[in-house]
Amino acid sequence: MTINAAPYKDVTPDGSDYDTVCQVIELLSDDYRAQPSLDEIAHRLHQSPTQLQKTFTRWAGLSPKAFLQAVTLDHAKRLLGHEGLPLLETALELGLSGPGRLHDLFVSHEAMSPGEWKARGAGLTIRYGYHPSPFGLALVMVTERGLAGLAFAEHGGEEACFRDMADRWPNAIYVEDAALTAPYIDRVFDPEAWTQGQPLRVVLIGSDFQVRVWESLLKIPMGKAVTYSDIARDIGQPSASRAVGAAVGRNPLSFVVPCHRALGKSGALTGYHWGLTRKRAMLGWEAARTGAV
């Protein structure tokens, strides 16, 4: 299990920027009532305020103050908007198996057939690799039909992360191939590359219901968010918001399928498979890139 440390824009080679961001978010969430000042946070992380300032600008593209603002409940509520759900109304342009302008990242997606889903990955070869990303070490999984999995590992948690993913398709054959997966990471986390050239090929491996939920998520634009019940309505099962939550939680393509843009009706970030801190970080990162701060 090797770790490919390919350099990446906005990320220090060892990913330490995200570590800092992570700790700040956690400090803030712990005692959000206390609203610790920037100086205080810097002190508690044994850094100088200027150092912290620098890290944020490099990682998020915005000042600590703006970043902290982007991570509050208030901001999350604003993302939801009050305009009903024109966000999700736009039908998929081409349905399954075709390219379409979904998400701000230009992706084309197809889904596994029900038979393939029941086979739990049998006959499938999945190549994988670990790469640094703006949200910590990422595990990338690729099949012949396209990108199939994107997950995040804690420090030293590569094995657990791999198990989490591999258990979803236990009958597949897994081959490590970081050279193959590296270009995917660059493409996915570089907004400059999103709309250029060929769409990113993605394959959704899940039950029919799960795939419908994930397709719905793909329609949420950058810098916006919807509630679990919005999604339920969108897929034609308005009373299934809880089932939607479960399906969102099983999304194998973190970030690409923007499950971090699903919030509770109150605007609360109800949960995230890879940790609530990461969900906050993603929303903050996106806020910086849409000017929605």
Q: Name the minimum Å distance from CB 177 to DNA.
A: 26
Reported as type and span, the H/E element at residue 211 is: helix 208-218
Q: Name the minimum Å distance from CB 159 to DNA.
A: 19
User: Helices in 31-157 by DSSP H: which ranges?
Assistant: 38-44, 49-60, 64-70, 73-80, 86-89, 114-118
Catalytic-labelled residue, pool 147, 148, 151, 259: 259
Question: Per-residue x/- mask for DNA, residues 224 to 243, rule CB under 7 A?
Answer: ---xxx-------x-xxxxx
Q: Name the minimum Å distance from CB 112 to DNA.
A: 12
Nearer to DNA, 20 or 260 (CB): 260
Residues 176-235 that bind DNA (CB under 7 A): 206-210, 227-229
Closest CA to 195 of 91, 279, 100, 113: 100
Q: Name the minimum Å distance from CB 21 to DNA.
A: 19
Applying CB under 7 A, which of residues 264, 290, 292, 293 lies at the interface with DNA? 264
Applying CB under 7 A, which of residues 56, 260, 285, 287 lies at the interface with DNA? 260
Q: Name the minimum Å distance from CB 272 to DNA.
A: 5
Alpha-carbon dihedral of residues 228, 231, 237, 241, nearest 10 degrees? -10
Find tokens 């890139």 and name the residue.
289
Nearer to DNA, 174 or 209 (CB): 209
Alpha carbon separation from 83 to 34, 214, 220, 280 (Å, rounded): 33, 22, 14, 23
- Cα(206)–Cα(167) distance, rounded to whole angstroms? 13
Please count the CA atoms within 13 angstroms of the CA of 50 that sit on its side-chain side. 0
Nearer to DNA, 54 or 273 (CB): 273
Alpha-carbon dihedral of residues 122, 127, 130, 134, nearest 10 degrees? -90
Q: Name the minimum Å distance from CB 247 to DNA.
A: 6
Applying CB under 7 A, which of residues 245, 284, 285, 288 lies at the interface with DNA? 245
Residue span binding DNA (CB under 7 A) among the ranges 34-42, 53-61, 108-116, 264-272: 264-272
Applying CB under 7 A, which of residues 138, 244, 256, 288 lies at the interface with DNA? 244
Phi, psi of 171 (to 5 degrees): -90, 0
Residues 6+ away with beta carbon under 8 Å from 188: 105, 133, 147, 150, 200, 255, 256
Nearer to DNA, 1 or 32 (CB): 32
Applying CB under 7 A, which of residues 4, 57, 270, 290 lies at the interface with DNA? 270
Phi, psi of 217 (to 5 degrees): -60, -35
Closest CA to 264 of 287, 235, 231, 234: 231
Query: Is 161 a catalytic site residue?
Result: no
Applying CB under 7 A, which of residues 59, 135, 214, 272 lies at the interface with DNA? 272
Q: Which residues bind DNA (CB under 7 A)?
A: 206-210, 227-229, 237, 239-249, 251, 259-260, 262, 264-265, 270-274
Residues catalogued as catalytic: 259
